[in-house]
């Protein structure tokens, strides 16, 4: 987006936050119901946004319906503040929400909109995380009818999903879900926690911050309230595993840039054909780097 | 771009800025059940009318059996009228025991359960027998002291919410503060 871009006069009458007040009010009502029924995919009338569905319109509608002039917004895409999706959504918020501050710092933000990652730094009670969700229903791989899925969710009937996981174990000795790991909220509903890696799933459990999930194309909003149990769907004798980033020698890889060994790493293909690993959360990586520069020992 | 500060008086309950701030208070209240949240200041409404202005419009139904909202405000809300049994939102006086059966939603659509906006005398915490709350949004337990809520409400709420995910969500409000009790909150203790 051109930084000097100005809306034409005919568009200048958009309200604060682009959405009209009726749209905001509907999303607000749905958010409260979603918090009241943790993990339930609450239907809502997803609005047309000036970007394609699938580009984060669900998360954006959550953000725009709650943001106010006192807020500080951070937008990340796969942990990065600087990738295309994050930059464009942040610029859209800057354009349509005058007086709102934006930041790249996880600790300064009051609202964080994210695509596919939960920040490394633990969130606080006064923060809200809005996740962009492409596919909200974990049951869709075992049941094509939404009417039937809604009954299954209501009854807490996830037998067929567990069968799918069991078949994976039989075939591959491993549950082959790398991201979007089905997670049971408050002992009842199972959610698709959006395409976050397994590494991030434990961060949903007893989080201090409210976590909201918005699926714009599928027209669903769901929530994991603070201090709520979020348990990945597993079997008693097969514990849940997260990515370990071990190399061939069984040693944990470190970030190429900041040296951190306790963050989620992206695998990079370098020009000479070799590989390198680097923190996916750029704010976390920059903080580690600043600490190292200041002479402190990392770890 | 419209600046929210100039669209209407910011301290009017109908201004977008008030509604955004009040919604955030409500969202925080629902996230942390039992914690008191101050409503932002406004000049032309208080208590239940503020909540109705933030959440209700012509897409929802609201029942006000105790006539706690001024007729002018009802017209301004443009809400659909409904009987208490069918309404999506119910505004009630907490000092009297409930005498209705609200919508509880269905197994497939539990969000159709009503939201009850209950006016109480005070949420300032001064009571000899506070309620003890447990559930999502609460780290361990949360204590809630309030005055002006008839015991019948808690008994009926427990009955309405006995089959999760069906149930009702309560918003308790006095003139300036709000407390939310979503259907997942378990309540024990109390008595005044």
User: Given this model, what pLDDT does residue A10 score?
Assistant: 54
Cβ of B26 within 8 Å of Cβ of A32? The answer is yes
Q: Are the C-beta atoms of A193 and A10 separated by less than 8 Å? A: no
Q: How confident is the model over B11-34, as a mean pLDDT?
A: 95
Tell which of A232, A252, A278 closes a domain. Answer: A232
Q: Walk me through the domains of chain B, giving residue ranges and CATH numbers.
A: 4-187 (3.40.50.11310)
If asked whether residues A206 and A129 sit together in one domain, one would say: yes
Q: Are the C-beta atoms of A189 and A36 separated by less than 8 Å? A: no
Residue A42: list chain B partners with CB under 8 A: 111
User: Given this model, what pLDDT does residue B140 score?
Assistant: 94
| Cβ within 8 Å of residue B134, ≥6 positions away | B140, B141, B142, B185, B186, B188
In a domain, A153, yes or no: no
If asked whether residues A131 and A264 sit together in one domain, one would say: no
If asked whether residues A86 and A216 sit together in one domain, one would say: yes
Q: How confident is the model over B23-52, as a mean pLDDT?
A: 95
Residue B59: list chain A partners with CB under 8 A: 22, 26
In a domain, A146, yes or no: no
**Token output for B53:** 């202005």
If asked whether residues A86 and A135 sit together in one domain, one would say: yes
Domain with A72 in it: what CATH number?
Answer: 3.40.50.11310
User: Given this model, what pLDDT does residue A298 score?
Assistant: 46
- The pLDDT > 70 percentage for chain B reads 93
If asked whether residues A298 and A209 sit together in one domain, one would say: no
In a domain, A193, yes or no: yes
Residue of A nearest to B109 (CA): A150
If asked whether residues A135 and A250 sit together in one domain, one would say: no
Q: How confident is the model over B51-80, as a mean pLDDT?
A: 92
Range of the domain at A107: 9-140+170-232
Cβ of B111 within 8 Å of Cβ of A33? The answer is yes
Report the complex ipTM. 0.94
Model confidence at B129, pLDDT cuts 50, 70, 90, reads confident
The total number of structural domains in chain A stands at 2
If asked whether residues A223 and A277 sit together in one domain, one would say: no
Residue of B nearest to A26 (CA): B55
Distance from C-alpha of B96 to C-alpha of B36, rounded to nearest angstrom: 22
User: Given this model, what pLDDT does residue A263 score?
Assistant: 95
Q: Which residues of A participate in catalysis according to the annotation?
A: 39, 255, 258, 279, 285
Radius of gyration of chain A (CA): 20
Distance from C-alpha of A156 to C-alpha of B72, rounded to nearest angstrom: 45
Model confidence at B5, pLDDT cuts 50, 70, 90, reads very low
- The pLDDT > 90 percentage for chain B reads 80
If asked whether residues A294 and A188 sit together in one domain, one would say: no
B155, pLDDT greater than 80: yes
If asked whether residues A295 and A185 sit together in one domain, one would say: no
If asked whether residues A188 and A95 sit together in one domain, one would say: yes
Distance from C-alpha of A193 to C-alpha of A213, rounded to nearest angstrom: 8
What are the strands of the beta sheet with B142-144, ordered from one edge? B142-144, B131-134, B186-189
If asked whether residues A213 and A285 sit together in one domain, one would say: no
Cβ of B165 within 8 Å of Cβ of A26? The answer is no
Comparing B1-5, B42-46, B154-158, the range with the smallest average pLDDT is B1-5
Give tens-digit pLDDT for A145-188.
999 999 999 999 999 999 999 999 999 999 999 999 999 999 99
Cβ of B27 within 8 Å of Cβ of A25? The answer is no
Residues 89-128 (A) with a CB less than 8 A from some CB of B: 95-96, 98-99, 125, 128
In a domain, A4, yes or no: no
If asked whether residues A67 and A180 sit together in one domain, one would say: yes
Tell which of A179, A199, A232 closes a domain. Answer: A232
The whole-angstrom distance between residue A89's C-alpha and the CA centroid of its chain comes to 14
What mean pLDDT value characterizes chain A? 93
């Amino acid at each position: 987006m051109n930084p000097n871009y100005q809306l034409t006069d005919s568009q200048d009458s958009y309200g604060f936050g682009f959405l009209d007040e009726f749209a905001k009010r509907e999303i607000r009502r749905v958010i409260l119901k979603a918090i009241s029924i943790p993990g339930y995919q609450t239907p809502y009338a997803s609005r047309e946004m000036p970007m394609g569905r699938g580009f984060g319109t669900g998360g954006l509608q959550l953000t725009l319906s709650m943001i106010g002039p006192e807020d500080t917004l951070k937008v990340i895409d796969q942990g990065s503040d600087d990738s295309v999706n994050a930059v464009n959504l942040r610029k859209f918020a800057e354009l349509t929400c005058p007086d709102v501050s934006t930041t790249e710092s996880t600790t300064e933000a009051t609202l964080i909109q994210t695509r596919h990652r939960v920040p490394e730094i633990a969130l606080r009670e006064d923060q809200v995380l809005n996740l962009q969700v492409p596919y909200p229903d974990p049951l869709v791989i075992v049941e094509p009818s939404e009417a039937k899925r809604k009954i299954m969710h209501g009854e807490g009937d996830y037998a067929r999903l567990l069968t799918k996981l069991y078949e994976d174990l039989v075939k591959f000795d491993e549950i082959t879900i790398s991201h979007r790991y089905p997670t049971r909220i408050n002992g009842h509903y199972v959610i698709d926690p959006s395409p976050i890696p397994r590494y991030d799933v434990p961060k949903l459990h007893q989080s201090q911050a409210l976590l909201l999930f918005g699926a714009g194309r599928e027209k669903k909003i769901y929530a994991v309230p603070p201090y709520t149990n979020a348990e990945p769907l597993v079997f008693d004798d097969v514990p849940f595993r997260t990515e370990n980033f071990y190399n061939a020698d069984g040693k944990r890889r470190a970030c190429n840039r900041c040296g951190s060994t306790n963050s989620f790493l992206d695998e990079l293909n370098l020009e000479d054909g070799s590989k390198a690993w680097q923190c996916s959360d750029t704010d976390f990586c920059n903080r580690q780097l600043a600490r190292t520069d200041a002479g402190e020992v990392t770890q | 771009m419209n600046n929210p500060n100039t669209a209407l008086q910011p301290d009017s309950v109908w201004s977008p800025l008030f509604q955004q701030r009040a919604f955030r208070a409500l969202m925080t209240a629902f996230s942390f059940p039992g914690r008191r949240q101050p409503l932002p200041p406004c000049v032309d409404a208080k208590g239940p009318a503020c909540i109705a202005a933030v959440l209700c419009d012509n897409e929802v139904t609201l029942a006000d059996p105790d006539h706690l909202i001024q007729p002018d405000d009802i017209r301004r809300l443009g809400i659909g009228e409904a009987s208490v049994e069918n309404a999506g939102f119910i505004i009630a006086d907490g000092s009297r025991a409930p005498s209705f059966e609200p919508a509880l939603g269905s197994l497939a659509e539990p969000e159709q359960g009503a939201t009850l906006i209950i006016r109480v005398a005070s949420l300032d915490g001064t009571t000899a027998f506070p309620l003890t709350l447990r559930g999502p949004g609460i780290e361990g337990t949360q204590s809630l002291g309030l005055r002006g809520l008839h015991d019948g409400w808690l008994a009926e709420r427990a009955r309405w919410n006995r089959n999760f995910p069906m149930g009702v969500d309560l918003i308790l409000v006095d003139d300036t503060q709000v407390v939310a009790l979503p259907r997942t909150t378990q309540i024990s203790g109390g008595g005044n």
